Each structure stands twice: as structure tokens, then as C-alpha cells.
Amino acid sequence: MDGKVRMVFPQPRFCEEDLPDLRGQTALVTGANSGVGLSTARALAKHGAKVVVACRSVAKAQAAKREILRQLGDGSGVQDNLVVLPVGLDLGSSQSVREFASAFSASHARQLDMLVLNAGIMFTPFELSEDGVEMQFMVNHVSHFLLTLLLLPELTPGARVVSVSSCGHFATYPEGIRWAALNASDSYDKFFAYGQSKLANILFTRELAARTRGRDLFVNAAHPGFVATNIQRSINADLRKLFGWLVDACNDIFTQIFGLTPDEGALTQLFLAASPRVRAEGIHGEYWVPTARNATADAWALSPTISRHALDDKLAADLWEFSVKVTGTEALARDLKLERP
């Protein structure tokens, strides 16, 4: 992997060189301007896919495109593989999601082969979105739910939808999702709220998979592993107030022993987005962990890799009902024939 000691995950079962020729396919990657999202977009473009670089602003998307081209080199020939739409994708706003989806549909109708729901925020202070939803839940789940439903008509036969979750889904409120106080500031815990949003990623994956079973579509969730990226900036800022420079020193040591690089962290979602094995093996409605391992089936795990809440069918159905109501997509879900089996 790069010579570092790896004490958390076994050696990978999938590497970037295992990606097939993706020419003629189109991918959309949210949060493609940094970390695992940037690595995912780069790898897909390098292997021939047209990649729509979705970021909060057009400027961030353009910067991501430049960075990918810099990493691959001037002679890589992937300039035309990287697409920046004329609108940004601000996942804190349902209006922005709708505008982005409209722009995508206008330019890539019936052309979407890979939808990678990668963007996210972590351990942020309490804030409500303009839609009145707690911001971590809005960005990490609600907006991705809305984007997925809006773009389902553009998916090609055999398309993949990959939701990027986390092992952090274990660390949620005792009831899994705190419906009664989802948007309440007085009982807000930024750590549990993050875990709640990552739990929602898996529940959404399982529910969407159930509602699309029998279609030529493959919906799965991925945990990228412990990756040192800027998503951790909020917790690190808090810890620095208490422990100063020791935070950065401990982070460096911990990352060297346990951490994955962004390129390594991208492998599991790349597997689910592009590996021929997904279709050949009918991988649908599952949660995978580094590197390219089925969280519910692999015998190597010494402890559970998916929580009981994530396997709760009623909680998944309740989340679906909440999500269609808060996004106003009840009619769209009916039109798309997304009835519960």
C-alpha cells in the first residue's frame, strides 16, 4: 500500500489498476474538490470516464479540475473527461440541488452511469439549513436523497449509485435517528448528529435498493476507512483549543499507523462504482468497508462492521417517508414507481 503499517484493515482486494476501461461512461462525484472525492474523480477520469465534478461552487469545481490535471500530467489526455457545470452544488440548500440536477439533466440526459454521493461535513456546530433541517443531516443525507431521486431518470441500464457512509454510523443517538429532536439545538450533540447522518446513508441505500430491486441498477454504500482529510477540520479545531500543537503531532502519528491516503480511501467506492464484479455478482443494497469487503459477509472482521440500527427495516422505511416529505418529492417518488415492496 505504501510501506506504512496497517493495523486496521487487511491488504486490499481491489486496487485502482483493477478498474476497467470506462470510456463512454459518465460519472457524477459530489465533493470532488478534495480528499477521497478528488481521488475518486481523478481515478475515474484517468480510466476514461467523463466525470462531472460537483462542488459547492463553480470556482471549487474548476479548481478541482485543474488539480486533477496537474496530478495526471499535461500528457494524460483527460482534459475533456472532466466536466464543470455552470452551477455549483451546495448541499446545504435544496434549491441549489434542484438547480444543479436541472443543469445536469439538460446536458447529460440518460447518460449517467455512476452517481457517487461522496460529499459530507463532520462534527460541525449546530446550524439549520435554509430548509429548516439540521445541517449535518441536510448535507450528508437529505440533499443526497433529493439529488438521487432527481437524477434517477438519467441513469443508464446497469448504473451504480454509491453512498459514502462511515463506521461512524455506530456512534449515533440511542434510538438511531432522533426524530423528535432532529432539528433541536438544546439536545444537539455534534458527534452523535454526524453518526446519525452516516447511519442515514446506509438506511437510504438499503431502502432505495429494496424499492428498485429487479431493475438494472446497483445501489450500495461504502465506508472509506480512516482517511486524514479536511473533513476533520472541525474536531481538530476544537481539540487545538484544549491541547494546542499536541493535536497535530498526535494526528500525524495516528495517521502514519492507522490512516489511509485519500487514494486508498477511494478504493472501496471506486470498486462499487466501476468494478464489473458488482453487476456480475448482483451486489445491491449492501454496505462495504476497506478495501472492497462486504461488511455483513466477510469473516475477517473481529467485531461487527455494521450496526443493528443500519439493519433496521422499519427505521429505513421511516427515513424514506421523512425524506420524501422534507424534500417535497412524494409525487416524484410515485412517478418513479419507488413503492415499498
Catalytically active residues are: 194
Task: Give the span between the Cα atoms of 301 and 210, in whole angstroms.
Answer: 26
- Dihedral-angle region of residue 199 (phi above 0 means left; psi in -120 to 50 means alpha; beta otherwise): alpha
Whether 88 and 96 have beta carbons less than 8 Å apart is answered as yes
Task: Give the span between the Cα atoms of 176 and 307, in whole angstroms.
Answer: 10
Among residues 104, 47, 87, the alpha carbon closest in space to that of 273 is found at 47
124: DSSP letter = P
The angle, 0 to 180 degrees and rounded to 10, between the axes of the packed helices 190-211 and 313-327 is 100
Whether 146 and 102 have beta carbons less than 8 Å apart is answered as no
Whether 44 and 74 have beta carbons less than 8 Å apart is answered as no
Look at the block and give the residue holding cell 499535461: 74
Whether 117 and 220 have beta carbons less than 8 Å apart is answered as no
N-terminal to C-terminal alpha carbon distance within the chain: 42
Enumerate the H helices of 47-142 as residue ranges.
Answer: 58-72, 94-107, 135-137
Report residue 85 as a C-alpha cell. Answer: 457545470
Query: What one-letter code names the amino acid at 188?
Result: Y
Task: Give the span between the Cα atoms of 232 and 246, in whole angstroms.
Answer: 16
Task: Give the span between the Cα atoms of 64 and 52, in whole angstroms.
Answer: 11
Query: What one-letter code names the amino acid at 164?
Result: V
Backbone angles phi, psi at 9, to 5 degrees: -120, 145
11: DSSP letter = S
74: DSSP letter = G
